[in-house]
Amino acid sequence: GKNSPCWCGSGKKYKHCHEEWDNTINVLKLQGKIVPSHNLIKSEEDIKWIKKAAKINNAVLDLVGEKICAGMTTEDKLVYDYTTSHGGIPACLGYEGFPKSVCTSINNEICHGIPSEKVVLKDGDIINVDCTTIVHKHFADASRMFCIGHVSEEAKRLVEVTKECLEIGKEAVRPWGYIGDIGAAIQEHAHKNGYSVVVDFCGHGVGNAFHEDPYVHHVGIRNTGMVIAPGMVFTIEPMINQGTRDLYIDKDNGWTSYTKDGKLSAQWENTILVTEKGIEVLAW
Ligand code: MF3
Ligand code: CO
Ligand code: CO
């Protein structure tokens, strides 16, 4: 009833909390739109824990940014030690058998590169470091690119345009807009710059699990896909290639994906919360 506690767990009366939200959703549903179910809407308690996970995740990526340089290996000790000593769990470690605490993807590697003490960073490399932290069963997921030493103009431009794709993707997020708006905006910007967009991997709901609905494609059509509603938390993580979008997966480790043509790939990822007014970036 209207005076009962809201389903979101806020403790507020339904009529003062999500009644209007439900009314909006029900109208959209009658119009045939794909709408998020209540389990995709984070409670204040969920958001509090996701923010704690994000705080560690942001700090660990800052730390990586301070330390990363030519001559260093990609071993994951820095991420593991910082995360665990600050009360977090590295979500990648053991996730579906992934062997390390973070993904490190260099040059023609698109994503899911496996850290190793045998892989040494060299002058001119571009690398994506993708980190996810768990605190109190809540997840925050983000990745950044780093340029090692003197990087070619071509590589620098790919890294910058990919960052712009993420920013443009975030700007396309509107409460009561559509998930398809995000991919449409990203795709336009990438193609305008002569790049391709990877379609085999996408962003995702995140927070109560590593990967939840909705799946956030980085190509798309405006006004299609799931309705974006306040309370949703998801990632945007475009993978942008210099050449073909086609890829192959490492036969030996079963994880690392590479560009089919050997050209460069870049990626940036944020975790965002949709609010009534717009978005709040939680992990970056
Ligand atoms: N962090 C990646 C993402 O953005 C997922 C990595 S899964 C792993 O969704 F197992 F490779 F770590
Ligand atoms: Co990630
Ligand atoms: Co992600």
Residue matched to tokens 């590697």: 109
Cβ–ligand 1 contact at 132 (below 6 Å): yes
Cβ atoms of 195 and 110 closer than 8 Å: no
* pLDDT reported for residue 44: 94
Cα separation, 58 vs 92, whole angstroms: 16
Residues found in the chain? 284
Cβ atoms of 129 and 64 closer than 8 Å: yes
Cβ–ligand 1 contact at 98 (below 6 Å): yes
Of all atoms in ligand 1, which is nearest to the CA of residue 112?
11
Of all atoms in ligand 1, which is nearest to the CA of residue 132?
1
| Residue 20 CB partners (closer than 8 Å, separation 6+) | none
Model confidence at 135, in pLDDT bands (50, 70, 90)?
A: very high
Cα separation, 196 vs 192, whole angstroms: 10
Determine the 3-state secondary structure of 52 from DSSP: helix
Among 129, 210, 270, 284, which residue has the most ligand 1 atoms within 8 Å of its CB, making it the best to mutate?
210
Q: How do residues 190-210 score in pLDDT, each as one tens digit?
A: 999 999 999 999 999 999 999
- Angle at which helices 44-67 and 77-85 pack, to 10 degrees? 140
Q: How do residues 152-188 score in pLDDT, each as one tens digit?
A: 999 999 999 999 999 999 999 999 999 999 999 999 9
Across the range 68-85, mean pLDDT stands at 98
- pTM score, whole prediction: 0.98
Mean pLDDT of all residues in the chain?
Answer: 98
